[in-house]
Amino acid sequence: MRGYLLSLFLVACFCTSGFAQNSEWHSKIDPKLWDLAQKPDSAVEFLIIMQKQADVSAAKQLRKKDEKGRFVFETLSTFAENDQRTVRDVLQNANVPLHSFWIINGLWAKGSSALLEQIAQMPEVGRLKLNPIWHQSPLPVDEANMPAQDRAVEWGIVKINADDVWTQGIKGAGIVVGGQDTGYEWEHPAIKEKYRGWNGSAADHNYNWHDAIHALVNGGANSCGLDLVEPCDDHSHGTHTMGTMVGEDGNNDIGVAPEATWMGCRNMEEGDGTAATYIECFEWFVAPTDLGDENPNPGMAPHVINNSWSCPGSEGCNNSNYDDMEIVVQNVKAAGIVVVVSAGNSGSGCSTVDAPAAIFDASFTVGATDNNDNITGFSSRGPVTVYTNIMKPDISAPGALVRSVLVTTTTLVLTAMLSGTEPVWLAHM
């Protein structure tokens, strides 16, 4: 009798243990992701966030930017290479698309509900999440193009006294600006000479350009194409923001740091990106690669990255995945790179700074003012309340009716569209 009871006890324990394990793996999967995967013959995009993340806090003790960048790259990439090995094997054996990241210990993949279940049951896996579409901060729709009259120095530059800094011989020389956006028309006359990949007679896009758009985000077609080996802008937004950073054409001083050089990564397809495309660009900036995506070199990293995009809740960003992008931004900052971010265009109410990456403490968040030093009606305001309770933006500066360049193949086009205020800090580097 005693043996019979012992057998029942062991069976009960086994069943209870099995049930707990089953419940545990299912809880790792975002419910929305699981629902999408239930459709017949459905293959869904998803992010695999590993249970463990590498610690790069020791980078704070390093003094030089190059040292920080090298340490962060080597620490993160080595950790991810070892920790993801089994997961990568499963994905490769399933013959599904995948991309491994190290800026956050995670992977992007595309597969069925059966694959989600298999991956979720692996103990080293932390969470499986949706790969939501992200949007760049929209341009105000009520601002029309201004005449392209020549104007020696744009009013916003005067407002922040950047022109006074110029008189001291400080125009951004030696500073490399990274832009991740809709791409860049690198041959535009206002920004071509500032492109790091241009030496005055020939272009070398290795380590200066990366395209994270490998597939159409919203279907249809793309005017630039996919997997580009040289910069192209399919939307104009990226070119516009680069103009406010470094632009000049001999008659118009529109860039805050006209002697800085720039490099770029396309993270949006005609204005829409995903968490994976943003993560890919952030990672590339920490250790840029050649055009074959090989031979990463932290020594080619920029000093600052401009980010004129956001991911609102309506596009899938919420408290369940904010922490992933925050890890990315924190690691980029640890590498000695300033992450400058638009506060967003969701004003004028309070606590409208409410989306990544503006909501993170590691981001330098910038709001917009007009030519009378008033906060613009569209500019998002703090404090942040959706994820943390911190004051944002960190600064506000000219961002309304600011002229810059648009995509064109022949002439300099100046526009009144919002440029974003991210470049305001550059004159002070």
| Span 133-429 CATH architecture | 3-Layer(aba) Sandwich (3.40)
The domain limits of the chain are 26-131, 133-429
- Helix, strand, coil percentages in the chain from 3-state DSSP, rounded to 5: 30, 20, 50
Q: What are the residues facing 203 on neighbouring strands?
A: 198
The token pair that represents 41 in the structure block: 């013959």
pLDDT tens track for 241-259: 999 999 998 888 899 999 9
Pick the CATH number of 26-131 from 1.10.357, 3.30.70, 3.40.30, 3.40.50: 3.30.70
Of the segments 140-144, 213-217, 228-232, 424-428, which one has the largest average pLDDT value?
228-232
Distance between CA atoms of 264 and 184, rounded to whole angstroms? 7
Spatial CA neighbour of 264 closest among 327, 328, 310, 308: 308
Give the pLDDT of residue 425.
40
- Do the beta carbons of residue 401 and residue 156 sit within 8 Å? no
Neighbours of 169 (CB within 10 A): 8
Distance between CA atoms of 317 and 340, rounded to whole angstroms? 19
Upper half-sphere CA count for residue 243 (Cβ side, 13 Å): 33
Give the pLDDT of residue 151.
58
Residue with the two structure tokens 């930017």: 65
Mean pLDDT of the chain: 86
Model's pTM, two decimal places? 0.90
Residue 79 reports pLDDT greater than 90: yes
Q: What are the residues facing 44 on neighbouring strands?
A: 111
Distance between CA atoms of 1 and 399, rounded to whole angstroms? 82
Spatial CA neighbour of 262 closest among 154, 177, 190: 177
Distance between CA atoms of 153 and 157, rounded to whole angstroms? 7
Distance between CA atoms of 361 and 348, rounded to whole angstroms? 21
Angle value at C-alpha 412, between 407 and 305, nearest 5 degrees: 55
Distance between CA atoms of 318 and 311, rounded to whole angstroms? 9
User: Which residue type is seen at 371?
Assistant: N
Neighbours of 404 (CB within 10 A): 29
User: Which residue type is seen at 86?
Assistant: T
pLDDT tens track for 326-381: 999 999 999 999 999 999 988 899 999 999 999 999 999 999 999 899 999 999 99
- Do the beta carbons of residue 427 and residue 400 sit within 8 Å? no
